[in-house]
Structure 1
Amino acid sequence: MLSEMIKEEYIQLGIEAADWEDAIRQSAKPLLHNGKITVEYIEKIIETTQTLGPYIVITKYVALPHAPTQYGALDLAMGITTLKTPVVSGNKTNDPVKYLFCMSAKDSETHLESMAALVNLLSDQKFYQILDTAKNPRDILNYIIEKE
């Protein structure tokens, strides 16, 4: 379940980011500090984005920073970061990015059910309202739990 991947301490609201690269680093901080990913994992996300383009931008305003497991995904986790000022990723269709869902998965299967739940949330306009108006991380987590 998505709520099992996301902890209150992985949610950051109104973060300032200089550019898309800084936004990725900022979004990954909670997972790094909680031992869910390594620095190498963050660098691989940035390197792959530089090489392939903004593959992590999955829909309007939303990025899903992630990299292959072998580059330092230590445990199943997802962080949520909202940006105070959206950043341009280079994805003309979905820019600017305002919400980042940094993800770590130990393998290619354990996160699939959670990803389906995330897709449902991303098609829910009320979820974006919650992201925009939340006063604290608990507001977002409570909404996710309520939708499960």
Structure 2
Amino acid sequence: MKEIGVIQLLELITKDLIQLNIEATDREDAIRKAAQPLVEANKITDSYVDGIIKSMKESGPYFVIIPHVAMPHARPEEGALENAIGITTLKTPIEFMNASNDPVKYVLTLSATGNDEHLETLASLAELVEEESFFELLDKATSAQEVIDYLKER
């Protein structure tokens, strides 16, 4: 697997895919709201979002990977149109029913058009979520541009 650097990450995360302090009522609402910018940007289809929710209901919230962070995604064939990452922060953290890592405050929605891209996207995100400074920035950011600037500088 090739290493993903800043340029590739910035190709996956664009300003229009970042939302800060979004209100959500429950985990399904949080996923739908977090995925909406990717739908609007034609990165994923509505059926992809439905696939995420269906998978969560069948298998549990397996994508809540570390405390306070969910990385919802579905299989590429469920409607991934382009490789992308959406970043959403929730105004009020939501219980996703993952005892180890609830409540979720950060929803990083993944779209990968194939298995290789899926693994590369996860690898690039894994590096990012290890940075405490990334979450500190998300907590105080007031614009999507601040997040993009952080990614450019890292």
Give me the TM-score of the superposition, normalised by structure 2: 0.92
**Could you say which residue in structure 1 is the equivalent of 2:4?**
none
CA contact (8 A) 1:57 1:63 kept: yes
Which structure 1 segments of 5+ residues have no match?
none
CA contact (8 A) 2:35 2:109 kept: yes
**Could you say which residue in structure 1 is the equivalent of 2:122?**
115
**Could you say which residue in structure 2 is the equivalent of 1:51?**
58
1:6-25 equivalence runs, <5 A: 6-25=13-32
Give me the TM-score of the superposition, normalised by structure 1: 0.96
Q: Are 1:129 and 2:115 an aligned pair?
A: no
Note the aligned Cα RMSD (angstroms).
1.0
Which AA in structure 1 matches 2:48? Y
Distance in 2 between the 1:89 and 1:43 partners? 16
User: Offset of 1:48 from its aligned partner?
Assistant: 0.5
Q: Are 1:104 and 2:111 an aligned pair?
A: yes
Task: Report the secondary structure of 1:93's partner residue.
Answer: coil
> Percent same amino acid at aligned positions?
46
Task: Report the secondary structure of 1:109's partner residue.
Answer: helix
**Could you say which residue in structure 2 is the equivalent of 1:142?**
149
User: Offset of 1:111 from its aligned partner?
Assistant: 4.3
Aligned residues: 147
**Could you say which residue in structure 2 is the equivalent of 1:89?**
96
User: Offset of 1:116 from its aligned partner?
Assistant: 2.1
CA contact (8 A) 1:2 1:115 kept: no
CA contact (8 A) 1:63 1:97 kept: yes
Which structure 2 segments of 5+ residues have no match?
1-7
CA contact (8 A) 2:112 2:121 kept: no
